[in-house]
Chain A
Amino acid sequence: MPELKETIRSYSEKLLNDFSFNKIVLQPTTTCNLNCTYCYLADRDTHHNMSIETANAISESIEKIGKPILLIWHGGEPLATGKQHFINLLNVFEKLRLKKIIRHCIQTNATLIDAEWCELFKYYEIKVGISTDGPDEYNQNRVNWANKQVTSKIMAGINFLKQYKIRFSVICVLSEKHLQNAKLLYDYFVELGCSSVGFNSPEREGSNDLVAKDFPELQNFWKELYQAWNHNPVIRVRELTYALSWIDSSIRRGTTRFIPKLLDLIPTISWNGNVVALSPEFSGVHAPKYENFILGNINHVGLDQIIQLLPEIHYYKEYVEGIHQCEKKCEFFSFCGGGQASNKYFEHGLLNTMETAYCRNVKKRLIEGVLNSLEQ
């Protein structure tokens, strides 16, 4: 196994010389029909749809890159694009889909799902992810523009998915209220019928006005979540899978000091073709210091060319500097690979920094919680 010193050198060299991605986040529309309190998107009350010309430019870029890529339709709310225009966008990629060069995923709030959308998901073989935070009393941050809760509409959408036998995953954003009720939440999502659930902690990002905060209670939350899952392991819990994979891999290597898998750049392409990398949350952000994180526009330059510019990009260089610090100093480095660029920026205003509240809440406390469970 490589010593930590070697790891530092090889990983940083990789980040500056080897650019990897196998997914692209796409914004078919800026619009969202909801106004969730923690949303990071600034323009969700505007209405701009991605044009067919931009979709064509993306498709041509992917064809040139020539490797399998996952297209993640995000938003705004992707279903707020409107069915016909969304179909027109999907049809641009049909040749690539049929050749299995791309496949589609969608992350939706589920409130607009109906029978026609389900037919569409099936026809284009779209993997569906739902954003919901649990039972009604835990779902209070998910509201419409009239500040009304939308749990019943989310459930109606999920019922359509079930009726059409469409598998779905869930992302749940935690609030302080959730933290005392890990078992209740786990049982709820099992009952809901999802295949997988991921838990996001509340984060200071984009246009939301949350304050980055430590939640010491999360350690116990992760521990209780592990216990609930271990008692009835019928669905995947994203964070527990990461933690157990890392622990298992470390045991088999005989060390936790190994090089993590190379960072996925996650290029994110906004409705107008602007490209950002590292974090989808950078899309649409006003950050003059980093030229709003925009690397280029897909309508003018191919994605492969845009990505090759990264070593010269100020924010990417700063991000790599921050990663160096994490490698040298943090014993969790092989687990997290240096943390999320967006959390560093939105918490510290910089990218060449180390630890964030996100690191503590979602990485360190997760591992501690799982280890504590395993020790019992």
Chain B
Amino acid sequence: MNKPNSIEARVLSKKDAIAALLERNPAGLANLRSENWNNFDNYDMRDDPDTEWNNWVDWDQDPNPFSNSDSDDE
């Protein structure tokens, strides 16, 4: 059982807040859950180019994933 103030309980209680955040931003949702950006889903996959040590991601995917703009500055 989770204690009410455990990290797990606090994280799980943010369901609505995260849903609202992502609903505002479908591109952000896709990228947050993509294997290039997410270290936490598909945990047995080993082709994720992004780990915590570095700052290199696959820019070709979406340079501004949380932006609503379709423009690309390249």
> Are A238 and B56 in touch, CB under 8 angstroms?
no
Interface residues in A, total, Cβ within 8 A: 60
The chain A residue with its CB closest to the CB of B59 is A167
B1 neighbours in A (Cβ, 8 Å): none
> Are A331 and B49 in touch, CB under 8 angstroms?
no
Interface flag for A140 (CB, 8 Å) = no
| A contacts, CB < 8 Å to B | 20, 22-23, 68, 70, 72, 105, 107, 127, 129, 165, 167, 169-171, 193, 195-198, 229-230, 233-236, 238, 241-242, 244-251, 254-262, 264, 266, 279-280, 331-332, 334-336, 340, 367, 371, 374-375
A242 to B31, alpha carbons, bound, how many Å? Answer: 11
> Are A331 and B6 in touch, CB under 8 angstroms?
yes
A77 to B56, alpha carbons, bound, how many Å? Answer: 17
> Are A129 and B32 in touch, CB under 8 angstroms?
no
> Are B40 and A245 in touch, CB under 8 angstroms?
yes
| B contacts, CB < 8 Å to A | 6-8, 10-12, 14-15, 17-18, 21-22, 25, 28, 32-33, 37-49, 51-57, 59, 63-67, 69, 73-74
The chain B residue with its CB closest to the CB of A240 is B66
B41 neighbours in A (Cβ, 8 Å): 245, 249
A244 neighbours in B (Cβ, 8 Å): 18, 21, 32
**Interface of B, helix, strand, loop or mixed by DSSP:** loop
Known: A260-B40, A374-B14. A248 touches B32 (CB 8 A): yes
Contact of A331 among B8, B52, B63 (CB under 8 A): B8
The chain B residue with its CB closest to the CB of A131 is B55
**Interface of A, helix, strand, loop or mixed by DSSP:** mixed
A22 neighbours in B (Cβ, 8 Å): 46-49
Known: A248-B18, A266-B53, A334-B40. A20 touches B46 (CB 8 A): yes
Known: A248-B18, A374-B18. A261 touches B54 (CB 8 A): no
Of the listed residues B12, B47, B51, B54, the one surrounded by the most CB atoms of chain A closer than 10 A to its CB is: B54
The chain A residue with its CB closest to the CB of B52 is A242
> Are A371 and B32 in touch, CB under 8 angstroms?
no
A234 neighbours in B (Cβ, 8 Å): 64, 66-67, 69
| B18 vs chain A, min Cβ distance (A) | 5
Known: A195-B59, A195-B63, A374-B18. A251 touches B54 (CB 8 A): no
Known: A129-B56, A245-B37. A68 touches B47 (CB 8 A): yes
Of all A-B residue pairs in the complex, the 9 with the closest CB atoms, nearest first, are A233-B66, A249-B40, A198-B55, A374-B17, A256-B8, A245-B38, A261-B43, A20-B46, A105-B56
